Amino acid sequence: MKNKRYSDNDINAIYRVIEQRRDMRHFTSEPVTKELLNRLIRAAHFAPSVGFMQPWRFIKISSFPLRQQIHQLVEQERISTAEELGVREDEFMKLKVEGLLECAEVLVVSLMADRDKHIFGRRTLPEMDVASVSCAIQNMWLAARAEGIGLGWVSIFDPKKLANLLNIPASAKPIAILCIGHVEEFYDKPMLESEDWAKRQKLEYLVFENQWQDNK
């Protein structure tokens, strides 16, 4: 693969999709074609993985009653999170944190079973399988944005309850509920920034040299 640097146009497209990707929670009812969904899952499968373990598993939720049960699990955890947030409880409860009942497709993404057999790159950092699956989801997210499709990663759920619901074995673990679908428009900024939940940090405060510096 000698052809190294991409054209300026292609490089610009890649930086643009990185900047314009959003965690979406508002969707229209328009269906997503099977071909498009397959392209996104295929993009995920090209992610890097620690020791090439490819720890990602995708469960497509085609049953609407099952989707409703998943929504109930998220709703339970949303309330528990709000209670634990204390002073920010009301503010949190006003946020839209998922679009599970509206989006065209729901995918649960899980870590594979029997992960402990894989120690390449994980002996001291077992969470590297989560890292690999996250890279896979980021691939899907960017591909979806380019295709004009919204994607939202919901992590407000109890993984044990979701595992029970989907017969996921104890040695695996679901880490994402993905809402995928067409959108009216993409948010200009991250929704949590527009809603004043948090501000974007200045990048210069996050980059140190040779040792940790706490600039904040």
Residues 38-77, interacting with a second copy (CB under 8 A): 39, 41-43, 45-48, 50-54, 56-63, 66, 77
Length of the chain: 216
Of residues 103, 141, 179, 181, which one binds a second copy by CB under 8 A?
141
Q: Are 154 and 74 in contact (CB under 8 A)?
A: yes
Q: From the CB of 48, what's the least distance to a second copy, in Å?
A: 5
Q: From the CB of 124, what's the least distance to a second copy, in Å?
A: 5
Size of site (CB under 8 A) for a second copy:
108
Tokens 């049953």 sit on residue: 63
Residue 202 Cα distances to 15, 27, 189, 207, 210, angstroms: 19, 31, 15, 10, 19
Going by C-alpha positions, the residue among 151, 209, 140 that lies closest to residue 25 is: 151
Of residues 71, 75, 81, 93, which one binds a second copy by CB under 8 A?
81
Of residues 32, 103, 128, 178, which one binds a second copy by CB under 8 A?
128
Of residues 153, 178, 179, 180, which one binds a second copy by CB under 8 A?
153
Q: Please tell me the distance from the alpha carbon of residue 88 to that of residue 204, in angstroms, as a whole number.
A: 28
Tell me, what amino acid is at 24?
M
Interaction of residue 36 with a second copy, rule CB under 8 A: no
Residues 84-113, interacting with a second copy (CB under 8 A): 84-85, 92, 97, 110, 113
